[in-house]
């Protein structure tokens, strides 16, 4: 393909000289040309700077023009960028000593008129175009580099994080012994409190700096593996969140460090932790007080109710006036006893002392039992009950007794706060998440949005305190806690003037097989961590006819072990809490539980923890997180031991 012609602009006031220059270029090589001419320097400048004139590949510029000389033309062309828009070759009739000055002014080449030939002129144009292309490319690269450096510098100076580039020094053993600061940004001083760091060493800035910083940076420089860490510097009395990464080759030993001073955030975190611990301690004290006070109140109250009932049934019978007084005492006493029982229940739940059993249970059976218990109350209030009938059996994973407690409470409220001759409808649906939703709908007054926002708050009866219906405002709170302990959720939808729908959801479960109704094995797990309880439940769910009993604290676990006599006891132990080890020692000394194998589930696999657990009487020690297979093997061995002890006892009795 033929090369496009070069566009040559001749700035020459002599027409004969223009013709001669054109002729020499046409004869000097195989390249094609097209020409433009300007008689004055100003005219040529306008043609070159006019964007509509088209690009010019090279200018042949006469040194002496009627309006200006070559230096003036070059100065005008180089005014904005320091370079002319295209290569310029000056044709001079003066002494050749002027040539270097022309090159310094922006010309690519110069040539004398008297010594110009076709070959020399062609070579001058070709060389000028080639040099100008290289110069333009180099200038573009320099400009790009300058722009990149400016952007980097702007970013480097504007970020809030401290930033430093350091060069590590190592000893003969390969350990980092100091760091030399090559570069820091303005935020470095604010984040560290250190001044004039560039050119100095870390030990020079902070003589007593901890070795951990140099060790971390040394590993980054040696391995190339970045590190993210949050650590405290005693020397600077600050916390830092640090990200360090290597720059360049390992031989450079340079590390970039990006960091934030997190001292204030850490102070707030520690204050929050302390406040949380204080609040938890206060809450425990409150719970202990309520439990103790409730138990103290129950004894005299039970005596009062008992003697009042004796008066009611005494001989001779009480007079009508006395009978009315007795009924008032009984009514108030039973109400007070119910309140105390609810406080005990709520306090037990919130303190983690409530023990729930999780099993696959028939929802139809629960609904039938609840209907039988609630129907007298509904009939007394003229309320119609509508319960669902399941075409197919429906099972949920929950505690049957506690599920009935939740449902009875919702049904009782739906009857209590219904309208005259109203209706309560129970519905059961399966959600897309494979949960079963139980809904209790009433035809009462409904709840406003402000009232819904106050639901599930202890002792809040939503303005019904002065009404005729009795209540404590605790029932819904207990329902919420119980449903959540069973892994479910609870809520309400209501429309003022239409009614309310209280609902709760539980996980759907497969139907239990017949032989699972009577558990073959019973396992007690004493653990306060809900996540570990859930994981163990899922492991044991694959073992048929295994009943899992759960206790959230040591005291409840010991009581349950003594009453339920499980086949195996699992106890979570922690190095920071000696309660697990003490529980194992108590169980080992108690004749009623000493024969039950105990498996300790520890937080880590330190030998001293396993030794302490074995010394306390445990059968096996497994470290968390534990392998499912290892746990199942240990459980099978423990069950074999339990059965072996049982057979030995039977043999001795028969003997």
The last residue of one of the domains, among 295, 320, 350, is 350
Helices 70-77/41-49 angle, 10° precision: 20
Domain-embedded: residue 495? yes
Question: Per the omega criterion (within 30 degrees of 0), is the bond before 316 cis?
Answer: yes
User: Which CATH number characterizes residue 206's domain?
Assistant: 3.30.450.20
Give the pairing type, strands 109-112 and 88-92. Answer: parallel
Q: Are residues 377 and 490 in the same domain?
A: yes
Confidence label for 647 from pLDDT (cuts 50, 70 and 90): low
Q: Are residues 215 and 345 in the same domain?
A: no
Q: Are residues 281 and 193 in the same domain?
A: no
Pure H helices in 224-362: 263-312, 320-350
Burial class of residue 111 (count of CB atoms within 10 Å of its CB; 0-12, 13-18, 19+): buried
Q: Is 567 helix (H, G, I), strand (E, B) or coil?
A: coil
**The total number of structural domains that make up the chain:** 5
635 phi and psi, to 5 degrees? -65, -45
pTM metric for this prediction: 0.39
Q: Are residues 346 and 363 in the same domain?
A: no
d(CA 431, CA 491): 14
Q: Are residues 591 and 477 in the same domain?
A: no
User: Which CATH number characterizes residue 565's domain?
Assistant: 3.40.50.2300
Q: Are residues 483 and 385 in the same domain?
A: yes
Q: What is the pLDDT of residues 69-122, one digit of tens each?
A: 999 999 999 988 888 999 999 988 765 677 788 888 889 888 887 777 888 889
Tokens at residue 542, please?
Answer: 């694959």
Confidence label for 516 from pLDDT (cuts 50, 70 and 90): very low
Tokens at residue 557, please?
Answer: 């676990």
Domain-embedded: residue 114? yes
Give the pLDDT confidence score for residue 302 in this predicted structure: 67
pLDDT for residue 653 is more than 60: no
Nearest to 444 by CA among 366, 394, 501, 492: 501
Question: Per the omega criterion (within 30 degrees of 0), is the bond before 625 cis?
Answer: yes
Average pLDDT on 159-177 reads 90
Domain-embedded: residue 328? yes
Q: Which residue has the higher pLDDT, 10 or 577?
A: 10
Pair 584, 655: CB distance under 8 Å: no
User: Which residue in this structure is represented by tokens 């396992």?
Assistant: 523
User: Which CATH number characterizes residue 317's domain?
Assistant: 1.10.287
Pure H helices in 546-600: 554-564, 579-589
Tokens at residue 159, please?
Answer: 């970020």
Domain-embedded: residue 149? no
Domain-embedded: residue 146? no
Q: Are residues 415 and 488 in the same domain?
A: yes
Q: What is the pLDDT of residues 394-439, one digit of tens each?
A: 899 998 888 988 999 899 989 988 998 999 999 999 988 889 999 9
Q: Are residues 363 and 503 in the same domain?
A: yes
Average pLDDT on 111-140 reads 86
Helices 579-589/607-615 angle, 10° precision: 30
Tokens at residue 644, please?
Answer: 């072996």
Confidence label for 604 from pLDDT (cuts 50, 70 and 90): low
Give the pairing type, strands 227-233 and 88-92. Answer: unpaired
Mean pLDDT of the chain: 83
Q: What is the pLDDT of residues 327-343, one digit of tens each?
A: 888 777 766 766 666 66
Q: Are residues 642 and 565 in the same domain?
A: yes
Pair 524, 564: CB distance under 8 Å: yes
Q: What percent of the chain has pLDDT over 70?
A: 84
Q: What is the pLDDT of residues 105-115, one digit of tens each?
A: 889 888 887 77
Q: Are residues 41 and 134 in the same domain?
A: yes
Q: Is 306 helix (H, G, I), strand (E, B) or coil?
A: helix
Give the pairing type, strands 359-362 and 384-386. Answer: unpaired
d(CA 655, CA 649): 10
d(CA 366, CA 548): 20
The last residue of one of the domains, among 350, 383, 418, is 350
Domain-embedded: residue 151? no
The last residue of one of the domains, among 231, 261, 291, is 261
Confidence label for 289 from pLDDT (cuts 50, 70 and 90): low
Domain-embedded: residue 153? no
| Domain boundaries, position 49 | 6-140
Give the pLDDT confidence score for residue 515 in this predicted structure: 46
Q: Are residues 525 and 473 in the same domain?
A: no
């Amino acid at each position: 393909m033929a090369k496009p012609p070069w566009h040559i602009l001749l700035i020459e006031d002599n027409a004969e000289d223009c013709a001669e220059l054109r002729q020499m270029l046409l004869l000097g090589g195989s390249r094609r040309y097209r020409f433009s001419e300007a008689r004055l320097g100003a005219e040529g400048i306008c043609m070159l700077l006019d964007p509509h004139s088209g690009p010019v590949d090279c200018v042949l510029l006469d040194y002496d023009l009627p309006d200006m000389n070559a230096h003036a033309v070059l100065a005008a062309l180089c005014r904005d960028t320091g370079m002319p828009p295209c290569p310029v070759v000056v044709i001079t009739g003066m002494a050749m000593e002027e040539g270097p000055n022309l090159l310094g002014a922006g010309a690519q080449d110069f040539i004398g008129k008297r010594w110009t030939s076709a070959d020399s002129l062609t070579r001058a144009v070709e060389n000028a175009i080639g040099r100008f292309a290289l110069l333009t490319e180099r200038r573009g690269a320099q400009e790009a580099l300058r722009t990149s450096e400016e952007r980097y510098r702007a970013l480097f100076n504007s970020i809030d994080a401290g930033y430093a580039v350091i060069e590590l020094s190592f000893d003969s053993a390969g350990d980092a012994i100091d760091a030399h600061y090559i570069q820091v940004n303005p935020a470095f001083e604010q984040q560290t409190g250190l001044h004039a760091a560039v050119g100095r060493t870390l030990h020079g800035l902070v003589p007593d700096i901890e070795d951990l910083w140099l060790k971390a940076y040394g590993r980054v420089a040696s391995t190339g593996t970045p590190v993210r860490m949050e650590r405290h510097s005693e020397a600077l009395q600050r916390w830092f969140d640090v990200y360090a990464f290597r720059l360049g080759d390992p031989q450079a030993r340079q590390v970039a460090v990006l960091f934030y001073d997190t001292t204030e955030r850490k102070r707030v975190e520690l204050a929050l932790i302390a406040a949380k611990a204080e609040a938890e301690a206060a809450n425990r004290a409150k719970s202990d007080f309520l439990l103790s006070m409730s138990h103290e109140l129950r004894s005299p109250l039970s005596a009062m109710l008992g003697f009042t009932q004796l008066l009611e049934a005494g001989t001779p019978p009480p007079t009508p006036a006395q009978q009315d007084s007795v009924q008032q005492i009984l009514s108030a006493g039973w109400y007070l006893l119910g309140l105390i029982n609810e406080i005990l229940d709520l306090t037990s739940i919130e303190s983690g002392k409530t023990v729930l059993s999780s099993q696959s249970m028939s929802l139809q059976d629960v609904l039938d039992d609840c209907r039988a218990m609630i129907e007298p109350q509904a009939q007394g209030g003229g309320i119609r009950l509508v319960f669902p009938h399941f075409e197919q059996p429906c099972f949920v994973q929950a505690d049957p007794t506690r599920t009935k407690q939740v449902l009875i409470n919702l049904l009782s409220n739906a009857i209590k706060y219904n309208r005259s001759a109203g209706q309560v409808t129970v519905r059961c649906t399966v959600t897309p998440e494979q949960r079963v939703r139980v809904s209790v709908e009433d035809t009462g007054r409904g709840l406003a949005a402000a009232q819904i926002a106050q639901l599930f708050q202890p002792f809040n009866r939503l303005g019904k305190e002065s009404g005729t219906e009795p209540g404590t405002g605790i029932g819904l709170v207990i329902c919420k806690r119980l449903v959540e302990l069973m892994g479910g959720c609870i809520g309400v939808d209501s429309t003022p003037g239409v009614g309310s729908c209280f609902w709760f959801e539980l996980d759907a479960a497969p139907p239990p097989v017949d032989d699972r109704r009577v558990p073959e094995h019973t396992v007690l797990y004493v653990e306060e961590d809900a996540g570990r309880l859930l994981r163990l439940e899922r492991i044991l769910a694959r073992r048929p006819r295994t009943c899992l009993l759960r206790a959230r604290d040591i005291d409840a676990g010991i009581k349950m072990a003594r009453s339920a006599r499980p086949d195996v006891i699992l106890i979570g132990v922690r190095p920071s809490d000696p309660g697990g080890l003490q529980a194992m020692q108590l169980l080992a000394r108690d004749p009623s539980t000493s024969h039950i194998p105990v498996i300790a589930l520890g937080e880590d696999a330190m030998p001293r923890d396993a030794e302490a657990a074995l010394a306390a009487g445990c059968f096996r020690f497994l470290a968390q997180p534990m392998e499912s297979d290892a746990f199942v093997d240990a459980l099978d061995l423990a069950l074999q031991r339990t059965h072996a002890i049982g057979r030995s006892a039977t043999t001795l009795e028969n003997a």
